[in-house]
Amino acid sequence: MRIKPLLAAFLVLLPVVAFADDSPVLGRWTETLPNGKHMVTEFTPTTLSSTPTDDKGALLVQPNVFAVSYKPLGHSDKGDSYEVDFDADKGKKKGGLMLFLKDRDSMLMDFPGMGAHNLTRVKP
Protein backbone atom coordinates (compact mmCIF):
# COMPACT_ATOMS: atom_id res chain seq x y z
CA MET A 1 0.00 0.00 0.00
CA ARG A 2 1.39 3.41 -1.00
CA ILE A 3 0.96 6.40 1.26
CA LYS A 4 0.22 9.57 -0.61
CA PRO A 5 2.83 12.34 -0.15
CA LEU A 6 0.39 14.74 1.55
CA LEU A 7 -0.73 12.07 4.03
CA ALA A 8 2.91 11.15 4.72
CA ALA A 9 3.76 14.81 5.43
CA PHE A 10 0.78 15.07 7.80
CA LEU A 11 1.85 11.96 9.70
CA VAL A 12 5.39 13.31 10.10
CA LEU A 13 4.10 16.64 11.45
CA LEU A 14 1.45 15.13 13.72
CA PRO A 15 3.63 15.08 16.88
CA VAL A 16 4.44 18.76 16.39
CA VAL A 17 0.77 19.69 15.98
CA ALA A 18 -0.27 17.66 19.02
CA PHE A 19 2.48 19.31 21.09
CA ALA A 20 1.52 22.80 20.01
CA ASP A 21 -2.13 22.37 21.02
CA ASP A 22 -1.69 21.27 24.62
CA SER A 23 1.91 21.80 25.68
CA PRO A 24 2.67 23.01 29.19
CA VAL A 25 5.50 25.03 27.62
CA LEU A 26 3.12 27.49 25.95
CA GLY A 27 2.65 30.84 27.68
CA ARG A 28 4.76 33.66 29.09
CA TRP A 29 7.96 32.99 31.00
CA THR A 30 10.47 35.32 32.67
CA GLU A 31 14.14 35.28 33.59
CA THR A 32 15.32 37.65 36.32
CA LEU A 33 18.58 39.29 35.27
CA PRO A 34 21.38 40.25 37.71
CA ASN A 35 20.48 43.97 37.41
CA GLY A 36 16.87 43.33 38.53
CA LYS A 37 15.41 43.65 35.04
CA HIS A 38 13.73 40.73 33.28
CA MET A 39 13.73 38.98 29.93
CA VAL A 40 10.20 37.88 29.07
CA THR A 41 9.80 35.01 26.61
CA GLU A 42 6.44 33.92 25.21
CA PHE A 43 5.81 30.61 23.49
CA THR A 44 2.76 30.25 21.22
CA PRO A 45 1.96 27.26 18.98
CA THR A 46 3.87 28.88 16.07
CA THR A 47 6.08 31.64 17.52
CA LEU A 48 8.58 32.51 20.20
CA SER A 49 8.95 36.14 21.24
CA SER A 50 11.30 37.77 23.71
CA THR A 51 11.73 41.25 25.11
CA PRO A 52 13.55 42.86 28.03
CA THR A 53 11.51 44.66 30.70
CA ASP A 54 12.49 46.97 33.51
CA ASP A 55 12.19 45.97 37.16
CA LYS A 56 8.50 47.05 37.14
CA GLY A 57 7.68 44.96 34.03
CA ALA A 58 7.50 47.78 31.46
CA LEU A 59 8.79 46.86 27.99
CA LEU A 60 12.17 48.36 27.16
CA VAL A 61 11.93 47.54 23.42
CA GLN A 62 9.39 45.88 21.14
CA PRO A 63 9.49 42.06 21.27
CA ASN A 64 11.55 40.05 18.81
CA VAL A 65 9.21 37.47 17.25
CA PHE A 66 10.41 34.26 15.58
CA ALA A 67 8.48 31.57 13.72
CA VAL A 68 9.17 28.23 15.39
CA SER A 69 8.19 24.59 15.41
CA TYR A 70 8.36 22.23 18.38
CA LYS A 71 9.29 18.60 18.82
CA PRO A 72 8.85 16.71 22.11
CA LEU A 73 11.92 14.62 22.91
CA GLY A 74 10.77 12.79 26.02
CA HIS A 75 12.04 12.82 29.59
CA SER A 76 15.65 13.50 30.59
CA ASP A 77 17.44 14.02 33.90
CA LYS A 78 16.69 17.77 33.48
CA GLY A 79 12.94 17.25 32.96
CA ASP A 80 10.61 16.78 30.00
CA SER A 81 12.56 17.97 26.98
CA TYR A 82 11.57 19.73 23.77
CA GLU A 83 13.43 20.89 20.70
CA VAL A 84 12.42 24.30 19.34
CA ASP A 85 13.49 24.99 15.75
CA PHE A 86 13.57 28.49 14.31
CA ASP A 87 11.83 28.34 10.95
CA ALA A 88 13.44 30.16 8.05
CA ASP A 89 11.99 30.95 4.65
CA LYS A 90 10.56 28.09 2.61
CA GLY A 91 10.37 25.72 5.59
CA LYS A 92 14.13 25.44 6.12
CA LYS A 93 15.33 25.35 9.71
CA LYS A 94 17.91 27.82 10.98
CA GLY A 95 19.00 26.54 14.35
CA GLY A 96 17.15 26.20 17.58
CA LEU A 97 17.18 25.63 21.29
CA MET A 98 16.23 23.04 23.87
CA LEU A 99 13.64 23.35 26.62
CA PHE A 100 13.68 21.24 29.79
CA LEU A 101 10.44 21.56 31.76
CA LYS A 102 11.33 21.02 35.42
CA ASP A 103 7.76 21.42 36.65
CA ARG A 104 4.62 23.33 35.65
CA ASP A 105 6.18 26.71 36.55
CA SER A 106 9.92 26.40 35.88
CA MET A 107 12.07 25.36 32.96
CA LEU A 108 15.57 25.59 31.56
CA MET A 109 15.97 27.15 28.09
CA ASP A 110 19.28 26.01 26.60
CA PHE A 111 20.91 27.48 23.51
CA PRO A 112 23.44 24.71 22.71
CA GLY A 113 26.96 26.09 22.86
CA MET A 114 25.75 29.51 24.04
CA GLY A 115 24.35 29.02 27.54
CA ALA A 116 21.22 28.18 29.46
CA HIS A 117 18.57 30.34 31.14
CA ASN A 118 16.27 29.49 34.05
CA LEU A 119 12.72 30.61 33.33
CA THR A 120 9.72 30.98 35.63
CA ARG A 121 6.13 31.00 34.36
CA VAL A 122 4.44 34.42 34.45
CA LYS A 123 1.26 34.10 36.51
CA PRO A 124 -1.83 35.83 35.07
User: Where residue 11 sits, what CATH number does that domain have?
Assistant: 2.40.128
Say which DSSP state 90 is in. G
Q: Give the pLDDT means over successive 10-residue stretches in the chain (124 positions).
A: 42 43 85 93 93 90 91 86 82 80 94 92 88
Number of domains in the chain: 1
What is the per-residue pLDDT for 21?
Answer: 53
Contacts 24+ apart (CB under 8 A), 45-51: 45/20, 45/21, 46/20, 48/84, 48/86
Domain that holds residue 68: 5-121
| Burial label, 106 (beta-carbon count in 10 A; 0-12, 13-18, 19+) | middle
| Single pTM value for the model | 0.76
